[in-house]
Amino acid sequence: MEQSLLEALEGIFRPRSVALVGVSEREYNLGYRWVKSLLDAGFPIVYPVNPKGGELLGLKVYPTVGDIPGEVDLAILLIPREAVPDVARDCAQKRTKGIVLYTSGFGETGPEGKELERQIVKIARAGGTRVIGPSCLGPYNPSVKLITQYPFPRKAGAVGVISHSGFLFNYLVSCVAATGIGPSKGISCGSDCDLSFVDFLEYLGQDEQTRIIVAYLEGIKDGKRLLSVGRDVSRNKPIVIMKGGDTEVGREASASHTGTLAVPSAIWKTLCRQTGIISVDSFEQMMDTLIALYYLPRPKGRRVAVITAPGGIAVTATDACIKLGLELPRLSEQTRALLANLIGTLGTNLKNPVDLGPMGAMAAENYVKEAMRIVARDENIDMLLVSFIGPRTTDDVKDAKSAEALLAAIKEGGKPTVFSGASLQGWDRGELKFLRQSNVPVYPEARRAAFALSRLAEYSEFARSAQT
């Protein structure tokens, strides 16, 4: 990426010092809480700013940014919009790398707000200062202890997070943390008045700590650049995006939210196809996909083998796969012979889906693991979806042993393998609990497992074609 942009973004994500402008001593004051969060996380240099001066949490409060003796790499502004231009001027003079505008009431309110926004950006950029927002929470980087929001993890993970909505930024970070993979860096970027969604995408694209990017996007300022940056980044790491404003009414709501122009869904679909961006309709789908992308090897194609014990699940899992564009090829003669040898042909189905029948359901740890081994060797198969009858014991030792046998079968097979539970409630019990703990993607329903596999296959196809 362009050198000056990279430098600005490095300053914003790895600031040595942060000024919080608009703090008060009251505990429910936003500034108070942000300062406290930074201090608690161990961020080294924090400057609270308030015209009244005084002290806050043992720190000197400076009347203005100009009064701060040292350098200020990042300034977070929690002040009314009218007060912003003066502070921006101070920041520009100090060669601050970035200003975060938490305040809303700019471009999304009409021409007057838009004009104010333009002035602020002009003032800031005169000193080489870039603006993030308005209506945002700014950057998050646990590696340098840049944590302004209380519940955010302090340990860095591997998922970059970008969001136009500040609230959904919080939400996404908490979802990513809950998967266990954890966020690497994040940015709540608001209304893109200067630095925009695409800048942050490009930055996280080249960030070594970030292996996958998840984002909530509302509007696109520069479609052409998203096309080229998206494509470049996707080549090396998956981007999973939930887009708001997918409908006319949603777009109207979006305009009064971030003030950006939302993109009609037909254009969005084309853009995703061209860039390899993985589009999802919900955060549930996003997390389901994230887990598959993170933990699984890339499949060679979209040919799935469905292995189940009970017949009804075989049918519904198959429906789900086919509807999502996956293929269920017939298994080879040899595979079917081996399966017949394992479990017989009475009450079973050995084509694909493989229904192991009542025997398979009764003793999953024996038959399922062997069936997985046999099927994974079939050349027609790229991925395995195993739908499980769920816990039959309440014995942790037995379950752990059974999970180990299944893990060995996955490892031997070497092909992306996901499991789905057999009960919305019980999917996280028994062997499945232990499989999850061993980082095997386990989903409550076959439909969700199929969705994750379909996105994994789609991304792998893109990544392959982009390499050649």
Contact positions vs a second copy (CB under 8 A) = 104-105, 135, 163-168, 171, 174-175, 178, 216, 218, 242, 244-250, 252-254, 256-258, 281-284, 287, 309-316, 318-323, 328, 346-347, 349, 351, 353, 355, 361, 389, 422-426, 444-445, 447
State which residue, 1 or 322, has the beta carbon closest to a second copy: 322
Q: Are 75 and 47 in contact (CB under 8 A)?
A: no
CA distance 116 to 121: 9
State which residue, 2 or 333, has the beta carbon closest to a second copy: 333
State which residue, 194 or 445, has the beta carbon closest to a second copy: 445
Q: Are 59 and 48 in contact (CB under 8 A)?
A: yes
Q: What is the DSSP-derived secondary structure letter of residue 335?
A: H
User: Which is nearest to 32 in space by CA: 5, 11, 50, 45?
Assistant: 50
The least distance separating a second copy from the CB of residue 245, rounded to whole angstroms, comes to: 6
The least distance separating a second copy from the CB of residue 445, rounded to whole angstroms, comes to: 6
State which residue, 95 or 269, has the beta carbon closest to a second copy: 269
In which region does residue 347 sit, left (phi positive, over 0), alpha (psi from -120 to 50) or beta (all else)?
left
Residues 6+ apart with CB under 8 A from 116: 81, 84, 85, 106
Q: Are 18 and 29 in contact (CB under 8 A)?
A: no
Residues 6+ apart with CB under 8 A from 445: 420, 421, 424, 427
State which residue, 54 or 105, has the beta carbon closest to a second copy: 105
The least distance separating a second copy from the CB of residue 304, rounded to whole angstroms, comes to: 10
The least distance separating a second copy from the CB of residue 367, rounded to whole angstroms, comes to: 15
How many Cβ atoms from other residues are within 10 Å of residue 453's Cβ? 30
State which residue, 238 or 244, has the beta carbon closest to a second copy: 244
Instruction: Give CA separation, 160 vs 37, 198, 406, 451, in Å.
Output: 21, 13, 31, 22
Token pair for 14: 């790895």
Q: What is the DSSP string of 115-154?
A: HHHHHHHHHHHHTT-EEE-SS--EEEBGGGTB--STTS-S
State which residue, 326 or 410, has the beta carbon closest to a second copy: 326
CA distance 419 to 446: 8
The least distance separating a second copy from the CB of residue 234, rounded to whole angstroms, comes to: 23
The least distance separating a second copy from the CB of residue 357, rounded to whole angstroms, comes to: 8
The least distance separating a second copy from the CB of residue 338, rounded to whole angstroms, comes to: 19
| Range 31-62 burial, b when 16+ CB lie within 10 A, else e | bbbbbbbbbebebebbbbbbeeeeebeebebb
The least distance separating a second copy from the CB of residue 301, rounded to whole angstroms, comes to: 16
State which residue, 54 or 329, has the beta carbon closest to a second copy: 329
CA distance 361 to 397: 20
The least distance separating a second copy from the CB of residue 30, rounded to whole angstroms, comes to: 9
State which residue, 234 or 420, has the beta carbon closest to a second copy: 420
